[in-house]
């Protein structure tokens, strides 16, 4: 009688570095899709014959969902494996994209598709950073985190150029089908990403819900300036303050806001970053209407700016050897103000002014990001840094759609602050909006300098061993 010998296959050994390429690809891919849809808003407005402020909802509400979703995925990553979360996100992204494509003639169903799609898009960036910080240390960790900075700028470039050409030469709805390419990443994720978890994750559902109520109410108020929408804004804000003061396990606690440096920098972040995609959103409409460029041609004008931002972003470590954080942030904000002020006065003139403007604009934000993050969390205890950075990024993700919303509202109002200076009424209206955005950026600069002065006077100044003010 023969006996069968059973053999047990050896367990698969996962090498952390093997998963980096596919996670980084999904990081870039998700941001390409989101930024692409933001950029092609003019095509949607024209195709569906809708006002700009209505079409902007597919960018603003999706932006809020991505910001909140990132926090949710970060919390879930403690109790559910990154591999499962990534695969779930890809499936959700695909379902939302198919809904948007199938119902491309109905804006409200397109919006539903975009929101479902965004619930999937929210995973990639956060899970990549968590994976890298969990599996790598020291210089290797810095290297892979540095990839994320470059990847963000690269995604802006690919998203705007790609969506611009697809909207111009194929049709904007076809951009929904690009998301289906993410399905090809699932087998690679299964082979390279491990299933390990750390356990103990928790999501502050109520706190995130209140943030969603506040920010959504604010954006809807900006659609038509209906005072009724201020009710959820006020209620959401009051309940959120109560929530973080009375619950130790809230998304962020009141102790963080007792840290003057962190809370004041969060205000600067909200004001300043509301301008970032507000200008980009305006740019595509402005160039199309005033200079009669199609979206494909408009996207090409943005390439030098994104390349400049990538260069500055990757060189921030070297720049830090020569500039303190205070100097770098001040210079960055001044550059951002100049980048919008000059073209505001020259709308309708040489189009190269806008290419130069976008180069300065991108360089300013790239120079500011690292020093501003460092300044905000400088006095936060090490054990709370993760939560502090998470809320910092959430603030940016809320500020961006709010900026798009008030820019769209201004476009509907068509202000004319520069009559007779910039030529036609249309050019004057766009110049006026750009001038208002310049004012918001200038407010960010003033607030930063005032807050730094307050912090210095209250003796919370932090200096390096060499005595340089590195605030």
> Residues 304-337: pLDDT tens digits?
998 888 888 777 777 878 888 889 899 999 999 9
Q: Tell which residue, 27, 264, 222, has the closest CA to residue 130.
A: 27
| Contact criterion met (CB below 8 Å) for 397 and 63 | yes
Q: Tell which residue, 146, 228, 143, 179, has the closest CA to residue 36.
A: 179
SS3 350: coil
Q: Which long-range contacts (CB under 8 A, 24 or more apart) does 224-233 make?
A: 224/53, 225/409
DSSP 134-201: HH--HHHHHHHHHHHHHHHHHHHHHHHHHHHHHHHHT-TTHHHHHGGGGGGGHHHHHHHS--------
pLDDT score of 463: 47
Q: What is the DSSP letter of 215?
A: H
Tokens of 434: 């750009």
Euclidean distance between CA atoms 425 and 414, whole angstroms: 9
Q: Which of 159-168, 317-326, 383-392, 418-427 has the highest mean pLDDT?
A: 159-168
Euclidean distance between CA atoms 331 and 289, whole angstroms: 32
Which residues have C-beta within 8 Å of that of residue 340, sequence separation ≥ 6? 275, 279, 357, 361, 434, 435, 437, 438, 441
Which residues have C-beta within 8 Å of that of residue 416, sequence separation ≥ 6? 425, 428, 429, 432
Tally of CB atoms within 10 A around 320: 15
Which residues have C-beta within 8 Å of that of residue 390, sequence separation ≥ 6? 70, 71, 74, 252
Strand ranges, E, within 258-412:
none
Euclidean distance between CA atoms 173 and 168, whole angstroms: 11
Q: What is the DSSP letter of 469?
A: B
Q: Report pLDDT digits (tens) over 49-92.
A: 888 878 888 888 888 888 888 778 877 777 788 899 999 999 99
Question: In the beta sheet, which residues pair with residue 463?
Answer: 469
pLDDT score of 465: 45
Which residues have C-beta within 8 Å of that of residue 439, sequence separation ≥ 6? none
| Contact criterion met (CB below 8 Å) for 404 and 55 | no
Query: What's the rounded mean pLDDT across residues 158-167?
Result: 86
Q: Helix axis angle, 295-314 relative to 138-169, nearest 10°?
A: 170
Query: Is 70 exceeded by the pLDDT of residue 422?
Result: no
Query: Is the pLDDT higher at 197 or at 32?
Result: 32
First to last CA, the chain: 81
Q: Report pLDDT digits (tens) over 102-120.
A: 999 999 999 999 999 998 9
Q: Which of 124-138, 215-229, 230-244 has the highest mean pLDDT?
A: 230-244
Please, which pLDDT band fits residue 417 given cuts at 50, 70 and 90? confident
Tokens of 316: 């921030």
Q: Tell which residue, 358, 361, 367, has the closest CA to residue 299.
A: 358
Q: Tell which residue, 433, 399, 427, has the closest CA to residue 413.
A: 433
| Contact criterion met (CB below 8 Å) for 159 and 280 | no
Query: What's the rounded mean pLDDT across residues 248-270?
Result: 84
Q: How many helices (H) and strands (E) does the chain have?
A: 19, 0
Tokens of 390: 């998470």
């Amino acid at each position: 009688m023969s006996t069968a010998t059973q053999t047990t296959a050896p367990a698969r050994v996962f090498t952390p570095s093997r998963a980096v390429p596919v996670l980084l690809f999904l990081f870039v891919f998700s941001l390409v899709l989101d930024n692409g849809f933001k950029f092609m808003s003019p095509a949607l407005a024209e195709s569906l014959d809708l006002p700009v402020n209505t079409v902007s909802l597919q960018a603003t509400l999706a932006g809020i969902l991505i910001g909140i979703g990132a926090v949710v995925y970060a919390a879930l990553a403690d109790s559910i494996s990154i591999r499962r979360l990534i695969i779930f996100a890809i499936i959700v992204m695909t379902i939302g994209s198919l809904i948007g494509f199938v119902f491309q003639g109905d804006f409200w169903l397109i919006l539903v598709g975009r929101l479902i799609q965004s619930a999937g898009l929210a995973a990639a960036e956060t899970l990549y950073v968590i994976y890298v910080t969990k599996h790598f240390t020291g210089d290797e960790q810095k290297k892979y985190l540095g990839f994320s900075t470059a990847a963000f700028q690269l995604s802006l470039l690919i998203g705007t150029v790609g969506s611009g050409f697809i909207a111009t030469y194929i049709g904007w709805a076809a951009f929904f089908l690009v998301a289906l390419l993410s399905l090809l990443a699932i087998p690679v994720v299964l082979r390279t990403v491990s299933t390990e978890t750390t356990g103990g994750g928790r999501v502050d559902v109520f706190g995130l819900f209140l943030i969603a109520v506040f920010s959504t109410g604010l954006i809807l108020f900006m659609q038509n300036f209906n005072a009724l929408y201020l009710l959820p804004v006020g209620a959401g804000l009051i309940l959120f303050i109560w929530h973080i003061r009375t619950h130790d396990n809230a998304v962020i606690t009141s102790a963080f806001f007792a840290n003057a440096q962190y809370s004041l920098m969060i205000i600067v972040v909200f004001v300043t970053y509301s301008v970032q995609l507000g200008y980009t959103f305006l740019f595509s409409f402005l160039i199309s209407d005033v200079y009669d460029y199609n979206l494909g041609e408009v996207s090409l004008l943005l390439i030098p700016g994104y390349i400049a931002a990538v260069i500055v972003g990757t060189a921030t470590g070297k720049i830090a050897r020569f500039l303190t954080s205070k100097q770098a942030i001040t210079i960055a904000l001044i550059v951002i103000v100049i980048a919008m002020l000059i073209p505001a006065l020259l709308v309708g003139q040489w189009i190269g002014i806008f290419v130069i403007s976008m180069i300065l604009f991108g360089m300013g934000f790239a120079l500011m990001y690292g020093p501003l993050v460092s300044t905000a969390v400088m006095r936060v205890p090490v054990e709370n840094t993760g939560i502090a950075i998470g809320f910092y990024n959430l603030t940016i993700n809320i500020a961006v759609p709010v900026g798009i919303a008030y820019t769209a509202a201004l476009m509907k109002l068509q202000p004319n602050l520069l009559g007779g200076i910039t030529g036609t009424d249309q050019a004057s209206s766009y110049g006026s909006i750009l001038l208002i955005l310049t004012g918001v950026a200038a407010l960010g600069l003033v607030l930063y300098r005032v807050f730094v002065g307050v912090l210095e006077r209250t003796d919370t100044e932090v200096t390096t061993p060499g005595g340089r003010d590195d605030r």
